[in-house]
Amino acid sequence: MESTHLLGGSKKRVKIHPHTVTAKYATHTPYAPQPGVHTHFPQPGDDGYDDAPSFEDFGSFVEETSDKKQLTESRKWPLTLFGSRHNDKDTAHKLQTVGGGEGSEGSAKAAKGSGKGVGEQLASFGEASVSASRLTWVGLLGAALAHGSLIVLTRVASERFSLGPLFLLLVRSIVQLLSLAVPLHRGENPFGPEGYRLRLLCYGIAYSLSLCCAYSSLTFVSPGNATTTWRLATTALSATLAFLLLEERLGLADGITIAAGLCGLGLVLLPAVDETNSDSPTDPAVFWRGAFGWSLSALAGLWMALALVGYRSLKERVGVGTALFTVSWTGCLLAPASLALLQEGWSWPMSVEAWLLVLGLAACSVVAFLGMTHALTRLHPALVSASQSLEIPIAMLLHLAVLPLAPTAPEVVGSVMVILSVGWLVAMKLLPSRVGGRRQREEYEEILDSPIK
């Protein structure tokens, strides 16, 4: 008996909708059974049944070509404007999967055949992710240590060697110009790729303005209060701006942990008991001087939050070396302008110890910048800023070792809260979740066992 496929010599009309897919098969003339011709639909196990693209491949095709995805991506201007390497890699991987045919089907059957294969695949993915996350968090913790050292070195340079904060900022910006060698060695344009230079320039200006405001505030308020206010404003505003500009949201656990850390920073800012019980009239000049310093610290947090969010959108286009060079040359322009505006005198280091201190300060600033900027390629800006809150307790411990200053009770409690919040963040990101791993394994096995391919 002659056997032919129903679809032979027919036209296929496919309508793709963001949510449904409708396929209609029709011949030029209405189909009618012919005598002696047997209609055969391929069944699982027949020849040619496994050659068709799988259900997952067709679903990915619908997802990539749907109007809903195009409309959604058009609303996310930073992602469509700057692009993403991950999206390109994922698209290429999906095309290779579709073209692989029998190879991908064979690997799926092998994984289906043994639960050990599924576990090994999930384990390999988990190990790669955890390894990269560990390096990222190690860099962040090193950056927090460098930031804490910067606070102490800046205070020592100001009290023992009479070096102004803005002058230190200018010297470190000049030293960091050596980072120009990194993009030149890689064959990259030091001013950024074409089409993204204006965005990179705005990032450099925002970062340098943040440093200028933060270092200028040290002239009006204490270094501890200025740094704490700067970090608190940066963390809170980076979470808000990342949601508004990048549509990146924090998880519930991350949000609660960051809020606890912000409460700890607020405790550090509480005034001492002798200051609250003081009955002496406050000089208006002193009051407005302090208010101006606090305002500069908050403004520095706003500029830094904009800089973090800005680099987050440029992470796949601009390298860390190029970003450091941009911050350096913009700092060389803005630091002298801030010096002239605040009329801060020039005081050059007059001893070898002073120069070593300045070079150590520049080295710590480079380490802190590299750790933070590298982490922005993988983590939310608010998480990066919240991890740097460790600079407050680190600076407090270094002050005890270098300067005989005893912390107050609110400072101790607030520092403990900051340490616990950052420690909990690190634990949530790095420790494996048994429940989540078991759930992923069950979902993966359910897909493999599904009769729809």
Task: Pick the range with the lowest mean pLDDT from 34-38, 300-304, 414-418.
Answer: 34-38
Triad 12, 16, 17: Cα angle to 5°: 150
2 DSSP β-pair partners: 37
**Rounded mean pLDDT, 211-240:** 93
- CB contact at 8 A, 220 and 289: yes
The pLDDT score that the predictor gives to residue 278 is: 52
pLDDT of the residue at 446: 54
Exposure class string for 185-197: b at 16+ Cβ within 10 A, else e: eeeeeebbeeebe
pLDDT at 195 over 80: yes
Which pLDDT score is estimated for 255? 93
- When pLDDT is averaged across residues 63-78 and rounded to a whole number, the result is 44
What crossing angle do the helices spanning 115-160 and 352-376 adopt, rounded to 10°?
150
pLDDT band for position 229 (cuts 50, 70, 90): very high
What pLDDT does 223 receive?
86
Question: Which residue from 423, 427, 418 is spatially nearest to 232, judged by alpha carbons?
Answer: 418
Q: What is the pTM of this model?
A: 0.69
Question: pLDDT tens across 91-115, in order?
Answer: 444 434 444 444 444 444 444 444 4
Say if residue 199's pLDDT is above 50: yes
Contact 118, 111 (CB under 8 A): yes
* 443 confidence band (pLDDT: 50, 70, 90): low
What is the mean pLDDT of the segment spanning 325-349? 88
DSSP β-bridge partners for residue 310: none
Q: Residue 116 class from Cβ within 10 Å (0-12 exposed, 13-18 middle, 19+ buried)?
A: exposed
Q: What is the pLDDT of residues 376-392, one digit of tens each?
A: 998 999 999 999 999 99
